[in-house]
């Protein structure tokens, strides 16, 4: 039977969510979960694959902006909610959705598409490649002594969720957007990650810590959850967000590692050169696991290679093959003394 791919409507949100969650082997969504997911759905460009009027595949893309080396921010199609029902896998459904989605992103002026891959072998055939790596950390509480005292003229304080969500977005924009690969966080993303709990949600609630400078002005924040396994001695702190200037980084980590009645601290999606290692008296005890994070697909080669800066001057001609969308060719990248670049199609060898 014929399979069609098209942009889904607002009234197809529930089918879109059910299809995606079934594809990734999750339970059917509750009405409360559907309500929580709706703002994100309305903000994305959602595609569905249909067979005989039934949705059998999903793929969405949020219109985010991403920081690139040098500090510029470029528009990206942030791909999400990709899945095919197990009854329809290996029939070309994903390929049809990827082609429709990437073609649409080109038409909408998005020079790059990005995603986080559940399996690393899926997306290479569509032109995606690994772009960023993150560090996941783990350390037992008994090994968290700092190499030197952490000086802090300010203070840290616990803040209720509602108040914290008025403060932390601006702090993230100030301190979290300098890293290449970092993305903006619209309000619906903050609410989805750290919003009020919904019925049936057993996840531990987020706890917000705000750091204030000597004048009482917020200048950093920490978000963590507390996972009690069997008893207090087994409790684990899980760090989800930690941002601020260098002067605040130590105090926030000292807080996270100093919580009483905790056996272990974990943190995810930190930069590969995470400086916590050099703050500890025994850095060997800090377990660090590197993982792939963003996979990137260039859609407009001249724009993408001109938007970032480079370490030094030079000129290079690149031959880019793109059998999936036929967007390749030969391109010349010319970098000046400041690291700024121009990129244009070329016939040079």
266: phi then psi, degrees, rounded to nearest 5: -125, 150
Name residue, tokens 């807080």. 255
Q: What is the DSSP letter of 217?
A: -
Question: Which numeric CATH code is attached to 3-130?
Answer: 3.40.630.30
Q: Average of pLDDT values for 248-274? A: 95
Residue 349 pLDDT exceeds 90: no
- The predicted structure's pLDDT at residue 348: 81
Burial class (CB in 10 A: 0-12, 13-18, 19+), 163: exposed
Instruction: Please give the model's pTM, rounded to 2 decimal places.
Output: 0.94
- Tokens, residue 21: 């969650």
**Second-level CATH architecture of 135-292:** 3-Layer(aba) Sandwich (3.40)
| Confidence at 232, pLDDT banded by 50, 70, 90 | low
Find how far residue 297's CA is from the centre of its chain: 15
Per-residue model confidence as pLDDT tens digits over 73-120: 999 999 999 999 999 999 999 999 999 999 999 999 999 999 999 999
Q: Average of pLDDT values for 225-231? A: 80
The CA distance from 296 to 274, in Å, is 23
- The predicted structure's pLDDT at residue 198: 85
Pairing state between β 287-292 and 133-140 = antiparallel
- Tokens, residue 146: 């700092």
Q: Average of pLDDT values for 330-341? A: 98
Pairing state between β 129-130 and 294-298 = antiparallel
Per-residue model confidence as pLDDT tens digits over 119-146: 999 999 999 999 999 999 999 999 999 9
Per-residue model confidence as pLDDT tens digits over 171-221: 999 999 999 999 999 999 999 999 988 877 778 999 999 999 999 999 999
| Proportion of the chain above pLDDT 70, given as a percent | 98
Contact 221, 169 (CB under 8 A): no
The CA distance from 50 to 57, in Å, is 7
Q: Average of pLDDT values for 214-240? A: 90
- The predicted structure's pLDDT at residue 33: 92
Range(s) within the chain of domains with CATH label 3.40.630.30? 3-130, 135-292
Integer CA distances (angstroms), 242 to 159, 166, 186, 254, 330, in order: 15, 16, 18, 12, 42
């Amino acid at each position: 039977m014929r399979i069609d791919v098209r942009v889904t409507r607002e009234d197809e949100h529930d089918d879109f969510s059910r299809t995606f969650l079934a594809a990734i082997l999750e339970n059917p969504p509750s009405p409360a979960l559907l309500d929580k997911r709706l703002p994100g759905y309305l903000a994305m460009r959602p595609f569905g694959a249909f067979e005989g009027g039934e949705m059998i595949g999903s793929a969405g893309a949020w219109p985010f902006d991403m920081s690139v080396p040098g500090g510029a921010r470029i528009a990206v199609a942030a791909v999400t909610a990709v899945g095919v029902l197990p009854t329809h896998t290996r029939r070309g459904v994903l390929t049809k959705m990827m082609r429709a989605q990437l073609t649409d992103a080109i038409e909408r002026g998005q020079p790059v598409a990005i995603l986080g891959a559940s399996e690393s072998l899926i997306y290479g055939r569509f032109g995606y490649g690994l772009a960023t790596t993150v560090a996941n950390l783990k350390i037992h509480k008994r090994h968290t002594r700092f190499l030197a005292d952490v000086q802090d003229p300010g203070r840290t304080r616990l803040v209720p969720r509602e108040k914290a969500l008025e403060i932390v977005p601006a702090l993230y924009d100030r301190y979290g957007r300098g890293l290449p690969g970092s993305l903006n966080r619209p309000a619906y993303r903050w609410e989805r990650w750290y919003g009020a709990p919904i019925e049936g949600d057993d996840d531990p609630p987020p706890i917000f810590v705000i750091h204030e400078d000597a004048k009482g002005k917020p200048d950093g924040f920490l978000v963590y959850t507390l996972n009690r396994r069997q008893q207090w001695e087994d409790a684990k702190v899980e760090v989800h967000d930690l941002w601020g200037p260098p002067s605040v980084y130590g105090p926030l980590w000292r807080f996270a590692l100093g919580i009483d009645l905790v056996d272990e601290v974990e943190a995810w999606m930190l930069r590969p050169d995470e400086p916590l290692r050099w703050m500890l008296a025994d850095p060997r005890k800090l377990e660090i696991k590197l993982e792939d994070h963003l996979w990137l697909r260039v859609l407009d080669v001249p724009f993408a290679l001109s938007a970032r800066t480079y370490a030094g001057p030079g000129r290079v001609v690149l031959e880019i093959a793109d059998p999936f969308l036929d967007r390749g060719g030969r391109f010349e990248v010319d970098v000046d003394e400041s690291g700024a670049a121009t990129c244009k199609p070329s016939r040079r060898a």
